[in-house]
A and B are shown apart, each in its own frame.
Chain A
Amino acid sequence: MLSAPLFMAGPVPIMPAVVVTWAIMVVLVIGAILLKRRLTAMPSKTQAAAELLVEAVDGQIRDVTGAPPGPYRAFIGTLFLFILIANWSSLIPGVTPPTATMETPAALAGLVFGSIIFFGVKGGGVGGFLRGFALPNPVMIPLNMLESITRGFSMFVRLFGNVMSGVFVIAIVGSLAALLVPIPLMVLELLTGAVQAYIFAILSMVFITSAVEKGTPQPDPENPTPENKES
């Protein structure tokens, strides 16, 4: 899949994926601003849907981390929402979803990699975060460091491969068959896009939680401290 820049901003090429991402950002932010102005104690249907989304994200975060969802809500929720909208943008004729290009999933995986470091250091400090690589023993340090890179790479490849393959299949079938034939595949692509967004968000949360838990001293159940007894 080769894509040419839409325009050049000096030496910087502006690719279609970036423009589509800007469009998605504009839609989401304007919608959020409009929704924020209309937030009431008696929710409308739109507000109820938004609250349902927030509560679903909070529930997933709480299930995975067992901690209050506040620190992770914006990042995980935005990842899910952006990937979902980006995947479903393939339904708009002439639009290639940003997640079907390598740069966007790679950027998302890079952000997840950075967030793992950020939340790990925030939870256990630099020392605690680095000590997490030595678990269960220091021999595992190279493998743990390699794993932290490869799992981000796997997220990138998984998202990119699924979305790109779906776009390719729909394009090939559409070029070979009649106009309405790709519709079932497009419906399937909706499901695939939602599943991939969910998987990406949940895996991000799992990896962040793992880094936080490894960096945080765990209580010894056989020799509890007074603080642990109270908790």
Chain B
Amino acid sequence: MSFDLWTLGFQAVNVLVLVWLLQRYFWTPVAATIAARQSAAATLLEEAKARKATAEAALAEVDATRAAMAAERDALLATARKDAQAARETVLATAQAEAEALHDTAKAARVRAAETLKASAIEDAQGLALTIAGRLMARLDGAATDAAFLGWLVEGLSALSEADRKALGDAALKVISATPQDSAAQDTLAQAITAAIGHPVTLCFRASPDLIAGHELHSPHFTLLNSWAADLARIKAALALPDASQDTNGQPDAA
């Protein structure tokens, strides 16, 4: 086993040269390639992070915008509901007021029409009653009718107080009959009236067909209505005032 110094030197130089060559052609280029790839990967990662951050920011902005739109939509819906409710209540109130006004107007019109119809019916009835009374009177016995009305006239005078009957003699009394009275009838009337009053009075006789039938007494301060026309007038007044007390018994009305 020998040890050659030339070989030792050759090998040392060979290895040093190999170190230099491989450093130039292998270790440095390959390490640079690795470093470049790592740098590129790091750059790509940074870019990806930046893009991810940008995308997340955009997404957050979209979410915020969406939330704002939802809130605005809710607010608009609430306002619209409120306005619609107010409008509905206003329309309902207006319609109700109009309906009540129409109802009141219709009711008033109906009342007026009924009153008009009733007045017209009453007027027609009155005319019919007058017509019927006139025709009936024309068929009745005039003397008997005059006698009946004379009796009721005497009853009316008898119902007066003594002071009133005495006051009747102070002035002339006007006796109005439905038909002209002859002198006999006038005497009969004068005797009956004088007897009812209780002292002599001055009488003057008149005829008025408007009375239909009966005899009435008139003075400047006293009137005793005792005719069929007066009875019909009382009936008409009673029909016009249904709640008032009616006096349709044919008794003479003194005023």
Which A residues form the contact surface with B (CB < 8 A)? 1-3, 12-15, 17-18, 21-22, 25, 28-29, 32-33, 35-36, 39, 41, 43, 47, 50-51, 54-55, 58, 70, 73-75, 77-79, 81-82, 98, 101-104, 106-108, 110-111
27 A-B residue pairings within 8 Å (CB atoms): A12-B6, A13-B6, A15-B4, A18-B14, A22-B14, A25-B14, A25-B17, A25-B21, A28-B21, A28-B22, A28-B26, A29-B25, A36-B25, A39-B29, A54-B31, A54-B34, A55-B34, A58-B31, A74-B19, A74-B22, A82-B18, A101-B7, A103-B3, A103-B10, A106-B8, A107-B8, A111-B15
With A39-B29, A51-B33, A58-B31 as known contacts, state yes or no: A81 contacts B22, CB within 8 Å: yes
With A2-B2, A78-B15, A106-B8 as known contacts, state yes or no: A50 contacts B21, CB within 8 Å: no
8 Å CB interface, B24-46 against A: 25-31, 33-34, 36-37, 40
- State the Cβ distance, A139 to closest chain B Cβ, in Å: 34
With A2-B1, A41-B37 as known contacts, state yes or no: A17 contacts B22, CB within 8 Å: no
- State the Cβ distance, B111 to closest chain A Cβ, in Å: 107
What's the tally of chain B residues with a CB closer than 8 Å to chain A?
Answer: 33
Nearest 8 pairs between A and B by C-beta?
A74-B23, A107-B11, A32-B26, A103-B7, A32-B25, A107-B12, A78-B19, A103-B8
- State the Cβ distance, A165 to closest chain B Cβ, in Å: 13
Interface residue? B16 (CB, 8 A): yes
> Are B33 and A18 neighbours in the complex by a CB distance under 8 Å?
no
With A70-B31, A107-B12 as known contacts, state yes or no: A29 contacts B4, CB within 8 Å: no
User: Please, which residue of chain A has its CB at the minimum distance from the CB of B8?
Assistant: A103
> Are A39 and B23 neighbours in the complex by a CB distance under 8 Å?
no
- State the Cβ distance, A199 to closest chain B Cβ, in Å: 17
Q: Which residues of chain A have C-beta atoms less than 8 A from B2's C-beta? A: 2-3
Q: Which of A14, A25, A33 contacts B18 (CB 8 A)?
A: A25
Q: Which residues of chain A have C-beta atoms less than 8 A from B16's C-beta? A: 111
CA distance A111 to B14 in the complex (A): 11
> Are B23 and A54 neighbours in the complex by a CB distance under 8 Å?
no
CA distance A17 to B10 in the complex (A): 10
CA distance A53 to B21 in the complex (A): 17
> Are B30 and A29 neighbours in the complex by a CB distance under 8 Å?
no
User: Please, which residue of chain A has its CB at the minimum distance from the CB of B33?
Assistant: A39
Q: Give the one of B3, B11, B12, B23 with max A CB within 10 A.
A: B11
Q: Which residues of chain B have C-beta atoms less than 8 A from A29's C-beta? A: 18, 21-22, 25
Q: Which of B18, B30, B37 contacts A35 (CB 8 A)?
A: B30
> Are A110 and B31 neighbours in the complex by a CB distance under 8 Å?
no
With A18-B14, A103-B11 as known contacts, state yes or no: A39 contacts B21, CB within 8 Å: no
Q: Which of A13, A21, A28, A81 contacts B4 (CB 8 A)?
A: A13
> Are B23 and A78 neighbours in the complex by a CB distance under 8 Å?
yes
Q: Which residues of chain B have C-beta atoms less than 8 A from A43's C-beta? A: 33
Q: Which residues of chain B have C-beta atoms less than 8 A from A22's C-beta? A: 14
With A36-B26, A39-B30, A77-B22 as known contacts, state yes or no: A82 contacts B7, CB within 8 Å: no
CA distance A95 to B8 in the complex (A): 19
